[in-house]
Chain A
């Protein structure tokens, strides 16, 4: 059984982690935690880490002992520089808390790239984890912000993602709030849906990696996939309808509507992993193999895993990309925002200096 560590950093990472914990209770609803235990598909240890205690208190399905408050007032206020310092100051505590969970075969770090604690902690944590758990792949699930959330978030997202890539994790799976927002109504519903979707796909992946399959794919395949391209990827998902064929289900998981980050996998894909679950009657292995062979021509090496499970076919696709045009747009927007922000700061400072100049040669008369 795989020992998997899932770390949720910052508010966003905490909530996705909480959604994973909730999913692990099954279909019991909000009260499931009172009468049943979490049933993870593998030996999964979760820790929600945050400097904002209120964010930790807001979690519902994560055990208290799995919530680690890194003491710094109530968060770092989206200040990554401050966040990095807080991490360094509390690194021993954080690593000690992780160390208590034992050894791991796979580590997921879930974080928003835009926030304070998560975005500042994630790169540093990748570094520490790689040093501590040398054999465990470290995969970052990085959530990109709404573009209109503000210049600070864009700036943080740009620098965070860069910092993460610089630390060379096994891979980075992107989740784009901006892209997924369209599938929900209001902001809260959008966040909940994104969190739940991300959580389910991660659990889907973990279950597949830890199960005996009809056609096998494993952690080694995952590492190979994540090493493909520029090490950045995303996940797609598709649940077949009653009359769908397994082929249409596989191809459905490549559709943009099922991806967590907007990309054209046929064009940008480097490597891929397909995990197919469903009733055996739906699992035509010849058709699956043939379909994947066809896909391999377009998206590079495709690893496949087939897991017999009740229900209609569900397909999780995981890609790494050779290029990420959407990131170009994000970084361009971020740079624009930074420049705009700097100009405004300069302008404000000039206005303030001008205002102060009026009393430069004066003394108070009282």
Chain B
């Protein structure tokens, strides 16, 4: 007998648990679906009435919350993805309501409360449970390379992904552009994109000659689309920065330098100097001629002063050494000129030639020699006649 009572209690409890779903300790949660113009009563206190379902700016549900001690209540529009909306009844019970999904004539809500929740009354109306398909497009844009010269063409890649559950239709691409650049192969309309599908679009962007070089911002790509149910939506990519640099011209450019050993030399001594011709341009220079101009008083002693090079590649140098001799005292100038195509570059080496230590005294020595000879002669004669 007692056993039967215990079994009945357990069954009853199990039935109650099935009837009143429980949540985790502290927060009670329940899901309810309400048809349009229908309502439910929670805990014989709070009424939740679904006034309308809309899809103008995304799916929404207009809801009227009221209670026995708050007959006026409050009306709220809930959007999918928004944070929960709170309502406190006249008796002090508080619930948090989130729009979980919307249908054409109803909506599903998630209700949370600190109290155990149970639906004490339902007048939910007729709900068609067929789900609404909603496309959601995201677009990203890359430019490769993101640095290009004037006249160059870069590749722009648009990646469009439908993260919604419906096919996106009537997709219109409004692609941002940079002034004086020209798009080649950029569509303005894009085929429908099924839910979960990704569309990749590539087109060439040619940088016109009149574009001002520098950092240029390419405005965002904007996608306007509709769902199959005709709901319009839009999305846009991030903007991109494209660095436009001046066009690189392939030209050889030569420099010539003279590396002297000394700037002050002695007349008659060797004056070695190393002449270096470097192609600092970005193209090979053909037929390079070197011309040397030695001013009077300077002569070439060793080496070839005016060599000819068949070619000098970019970033390559040709180096040769010559030896000069300054015969005259004073400032001397050596002018070396490298010529290629119709261009030329000049290097000037100035040095000073001084008389040798002995040469400085040549005048005195020359003057002293006869005096010395006379003196020696006098000494000789004096000794000849001294006893």
The reply to whether the CB of A62 lies closer than 8 angstroms to some CB of chain B is yes
User: What is the minimal beta-carbon distance from A56 to any residue of chain B, in angstroms?
Assistant: 5
User: What is the minimal beta-carbon distance from A69 to any residue of chain B, in angstroms?
Assistant: 8
Interface residue ranges of A11-63 to B (CB < 8 Å): 33-35, 56-57, 59-63
The reply to whether the CB of B68 lies closer than 8 angstroms to some CB of chain A is no
The reply to whether the CB of B360 lies closer than 8 angstroms to some CB of chain A is no
User: What is the minimal beta-carbon distance from A32 to any residue of chain B, in angstroms?
Assistant: 10
In this complex, the interface size class of chain A, counting residues with CB under 8 Å from chain B, is 10 to 19
B386 contact set on A, CB distance < 8 A:
64
The reply to whether the CB of B364 lies closer than 8 angstroms to some CB of chain A is no
User: What is the minimal beta-carbon distance from A130 to any residue of chain B, in angstroms?
Assistant: 29
- A34, A63, A64, A65: the one contacting B377 at CB < 8 Å is A34
- A34, A57, A59, A60: the one contacting B378 at CB < 8 Å is A34
A33 contact set on B, CB distance < 8 A:
381, 385
Select from chain B the residue with minimum beta-carbon distance to A62: B385
The reply to whether the CB of B384 lies closer than 8 angstroms to some CB of chain A is yes
A65 contact set on B, CB distance < 8 A:
384
User: What is the minimal beta-carbon distance from A36 to any residue of chain B, in angstroms?
Assistant: 10
Q: What is the 8 Å Cβ interface bit string for chain B, positions 362-387, against chain A (1 contact, 0 not)? A: 00000000000000011001111111
- A34, A35, A64: the one contacting B387 at CB < 8 Å is A64
A60 contact set on B, CB distance < 8 A:
385
B381 near A59: Cβ-Cβ < 8 Å: no
B387 near A67: Cβ-Cβ < 8 Å: yes
With the chains together, A33 CA to B385 CA distance in Å? 8
User: What is the minimal beta-carbon distance from B176 to any residue of chain A, in angstroms?
Assistant: 112
B385 near A56: Cβ-Cβ < 8 Å: no
Interface of B is mostly: helix
With the chains together, A59 CA to B385 CA distance in Å? 8
User: What is the minimal beta-carbon distance from B372 to any residue of chain A, in angstroms?
Assistant: 15
B385 near A61: Cβ-Cβ < 8 Å: yes
With the chains together, A67 CA to B384 CA distance in Å? 11
Q: What is the 8 Å Cβ interface bit string for chain B, positions 79-117, against chain A (1 contact, 0 not)? A: 000000000000000000000000000000000000000
User: What is the minimal beta-carbon distance from A14 to any residue of chain B, in angstroms?
Assistant: 11
B382 contact set on A, CB distance < 8 A:
34
With the chains together, A61 CA to B386 CA distance in Å? 9
With the chains together, A62 CA to B386 CA distance in Å? 9
A56 near B387: Cβ-Cβ < 8 Å: yes
B377 contact set on A, CB distance < 8 A:
34-35
A67 contact set on B, CB distance < 8 A:
387
In this complex, the interface size class of chain B, counting residues with CB under 8 Å from chain A, is under 10
A62 contact set on B, CB distance < 8 A:
385
A34 contact set on B, CB distance < 8 A:
377-378, 381-382
With the chains together, A63 CA to B382 CA distance in Å? 9
With the chains together, A64 CA to B383 CA distance in Å? 8
Interface residue ranges of B332-387 to A (CB < 8 Å): 377-378, 381-387
User: What is the minimal beta-carbon distance from A7 to any residue of chain B, in angstroms?
Assistant: 17
Select from chain A the residue with minimum beta-carbon distance to B386: A64
B377, B384, B385 pick with most chain A CB within 10 angstroms: B385
B377, B381, B386, B387 pick with most chain A CB within 10 angstroms: B387
B383 contact set on A, CB distance < 8 A:
64
A63 contact set on B, CB distance < 8 A:
384-385
Select from chain B the residue with minimum beta-carbon distance to A56: B387
Q: What is the 8 Å Cβ interface bit string for chain B, positions 248-277, against chain A (1 contact, 0 not)? A: 000000000000000000000000000000
B384 contact set on A, CB distance < 8 A:
63-65
User: What is the minimal beta-carbon distance from B139 to any residue of chain A, in angstroms?
Assistant: 118
A35 contact set on B, CB distance < 8 A:
377
User: What is the minimal beta-carbon distance from B234 to any residue of chain A, in angstroms?
Assistant: 125
Interface residue ranges of A58-79 to B (CB < 8 Å): 59-65, 67
Select from chain B the residue with minimum beta-carbon distance to A53: B387
User: What is the minimal beta-carbon distance from B249 to any residue of chain A, in angstroms?
Assistant: 85
With the chains together, A34 CA to B380 CA distance in Å? 9
With the chains together, A59 CA to B381 CA distance in Å? 14
A34-B377, A34-B378 as given contacts; A57 in contact with B385, CB under 8 Å: no
B385 contact set on A, CB distance < 8 A:
33, 60-64
User: What is the minimal beta-carbon distance from B352 to any residue of chain A, in angstroms?
Assistant: 45
B378 contact set on A, CB distance < 8 A:
34
With the chains together, A56 CA to B383 CA distance in Å? 14
B381 near A57: Cβ-Cβ < 8 Å: no
User: What is the minimal beta-carbon distance from B277 to any residue of chain A, in angstroms?
Assistant: 66
With the chains together, A16 CA to B350 CA distance in Å? 74
B381 contact set on A, CB distance < 8 A:
33-34
A61 contact set on B, CB distance < 8 A:
385
User: What is the minimal beta-carbon distance from A158 to any residue of chain B, in angstroms?
Assistant: 32
User: What is the minimal beta-carbon distance from B104 to any residue of chain A, in angstroms?
Assistant: 146
User: What is the minimal beta-carbon distance from A200 to any residue of chain B, in angstroms?
Assistant: 20
A56 contact set on B, CB distance < 8 A:
387
User: What is the minimal beta-carbon distance from B371 to any residue of chain A, in angstroms?
Assistant: 14
With the chains together, A57 CA to B386 CA distance in Å? 7
With the chains together, A34 CA to B381 CA distance in Å? 6
Select from chain A the residue with minimum beta-carbon distance to B379: A34
User: What is the minimal beta-carbon distance from A257 to any residue of chain B, in angstroms?
Assistant: 35
With the chains together, A61 CA to B385 CA distance in Å? 6
A57 contact set on B, CB distance < 8 A:
387
A64 contact set on B, CB distance < 8 A:
383-387
Q: What is the 8 Å Cβ interface bit string for chain B, positions 48-75, against chain A (1 contact, 0 not)? A: 0000000000000000000000000000
A-B contact pairs, 18 of them (CB 8 A): A33-B385, A34-B377, A34-B378, A34-B381, A34-B382, A56-B387, A59-B387, A60-B385, A62-B385, A63-B384, A63-B385, A64-B383, A64-B384, A64-B385, A64-B386, A64-B387, A65-B384, A67-B387
Further pairs besides A59-B387, A62-B385, A67-B387: 19, Cβ < 8 Å:
A33-B381, A33-B385, A34-B377, A34-B378, A34-B381, A34-B382, A35-B377, A56-B387, A57-B387, A60-B385, A61-B385, A63-B384, A63-B385, A64-B383, A64-B384, A64-B385, A64-B386, A64-B387, A65-B384
Q: When A and B form their complex, which 9 residue pairs have the shortest distance between CB atoms, in order from nearest?
A: A64-B387, A34-B381, A67-B387, A34-B378, A57-B387, A56-B387, A63-B384, A33-B385, A63-B385
Residues of A within 8 A of B (CB): 33-35, 56-57, 59-65, 67
Residues of B within 8 A of A (CB): 377-378, 381-387
